[in-house]
Amino acid sequence: MRDAWEIARLTAVELGAAYEQGNLSPTDAIEAAFTVVDDAEPQLNALWDRADVSARKAARDSTERWRRREQRGPLDGVPVTVKENLARAGVPMPAGNAGVVPVVPDRDSPVVERLTEAGAVILGSTVMPDWGMLSSGVSSLHGITRSPWDPTLTTGGSSSGAGAAAAAGYAPLHVGTDIGGSIRLPGTWLGLAAFKPSSGRVPLDIPYLGRVAGPMTRSVSDAALLMSALSRPDTRDWTALAPTDLPWTDVGQAAVDLRGLRIGLLLEAGCGMAVDPEVTQVVTDAARLFEDAGAVVEPLSPFLTDELLHDLDTFWRVRSLRDFQALSPDGQLRVLPFIQRWVGAAADVSGPQVLGCYQSILEIQKRSVAATLPFDVVLSPVAPVAAFPAEWPMPFGDHDRGMIHIGFTASCNMSGQPSISVNGGFTGDGRTVGIALSGRRFDDLGVLRVGDWWEAARPESARPDWPIRPRAAATLTLIDERRRQEAAAG
């Protein structure tokens, strides 16, 4: 059998080909996956639940199906994780929060049912921060989830465990959720192909305004392959799009001609944090490469404002305040202090103010669709900054500055547009920087095809060498080096 880390390098597409050729079996793949987990998990802290027994049985069953040439499709036997807020029957769902009494579901979520039907092997559930309302891996229940690139750096969030597991090679496929950037922010800060589908494309059992589930992978073709299962219908989601048989697996199979493709270049969100010049440089370098390939790149003016982003943040605070107030007094004390302060700031928000915030969300929807409609794809940063210290709950530390870092991501959640983060390059100190490619409403395939083109065309210097084996704790890290340089400078 191959070395576990060698198997961990394989994409889902490559694993399926190896099963077809008889070079590997799903049992080989899941054993390799658990070897990688055993090696990396003590440092990364990515998993809430490990499904060793059920995963090994599922892998054996899949191995037998492949032997009999009765496989269920290209996902049969491929290891996958799901975020802890995607229900698996019998597995408690604490939402990353030490203060809640976890719900124990009696039925799998639509995501899990579709994966199981496709024969995928679920090796476990990944962690998230409190209620998914942080863009980091800081959780009152789980502690800190760390980046395999550098354990002093954040994974991003709220799909923090999924991101860390994807980058470290726990499995080729991972499913996160995203209400304002929670798939794509780990994408940029870990170098992943992280796809937020159109709203309603992936059925959910608990739909909510802006919330989606989607792939977090190391290749765009794997993200498309995963969508072939996730997008299948489920009647529990009353907001789902009409069932459509899209050719997901065509992504990566044919060359994409960019000649004449209209790309809007959005370098400023119009709200929130200032964009780091290194992030801007990665995006402008990508724009030149698209232009060289025949695309028509035109500047796109910012269309959001600080007031709109503030109102979205206030709306979410009130939503989470209701959840916080439903906890017991002792439970409230166990919630992460940052979240306690964040929801507490909404205690005096009035009903008319909440409705005003909802009107602002509708305005975000209107502006986002109108501004991006002239373009096939919009190219922008995913986040204004690169990865920050793992201990910080937000990119600006422990201070409450609202959601000033999601100006580039939240608009697509509110408008329902598809968007993907694909690694575009690195900062001078080696941190990943993703580019965002966002499309018109419902053009998921268009976004994936352009993302796949970028993944193949980007310079060698922008390509992560997967998987990222976590560094030893004694290794001099980027943050340590930066602190040393600052101290030396006085």
Residue 389, burial from CB neighbour count under 10 angstroms (0-12, 13-18, 19+): middle
Q: Which of 182, 221, 415, 419 is catalytic?
A: 182
Q: Dmax of the chain from CA atoms?
A: 69
Handedness of CA 192, 197, 203, 205 (dihedral sign): positive
Does 83 qualify as catalytic in the annotation? yes
Residue 217: strand pairing partners: 173, 193
Does 198 qualify as catalytic in the annotation? no
Does 158 qualify as catalytic in the annotation? yes
Asked if residue 158 has a cis previous peptide bond (ω within 30° of 0), the answer is yes
Q: Which of 125, 158, 159, 419 is catalytic?
A: 158
Are 449 and 256 in contact by the 8 Å Cβ rule? The answer is: yes
Are 82 and 122 in contact by the 8 Å Cβ rule? The answer is: yes
Q: Which of 83, 198, 320, 411 is catalytic?
A: 83
- Between helices 306-325 and 337-344, what is the axis angle to 10°? 110
Q: How, if at all, do strands 377-381 and 262-265 pair?
A: parallel
Handedness of CA 326, 330, 334, 340 (dihedral sign): positive
Are 187 and 212 in contact by the 8 Å Cβ rule? The answer is: no
How far apart, in whole angstroms, are the C-alpha atoms of residue 367 and residue 305? 11
How far apart, in whole angstroms, are the C-alpha atoms of residue 213 and residue 364? 21
3-state secondary structure of 42: helix
Show the DSSP H helices in 236-379 as ranges: 277-292, 306-325, 329-334, 337-344, 351-372
How far apart, in whole angstroms, are the C-alpha atoms of residue 391 and residue 92? 26
Are 167 and 179 in contact by the 8 Å Cβ rule? The answer is: no
For residue 183, give the nearest of 208, 171, 166 by alpha carbon: 166
Q: What is the DSSP string of 234-254?
A: -TT-TTPPPP----GGGTTTS
Handedness of CA 71, 30, 13, 120 (dihedral sign): positive
From the CA atom positions of the chain, what is the Rg in Å?
21
Q: Which residues contact 61 (CB under 8 A, 6 or more apart)?
A: none
Measured CA distances, 171 to 8, 30, 163, 388, 453 (Å): 7, 8, 11, 25, 23
Backbone φ and ψ of 272, nearest 5°:
80, -150
Write out the catalytic residue numbers. 83, 158, 182
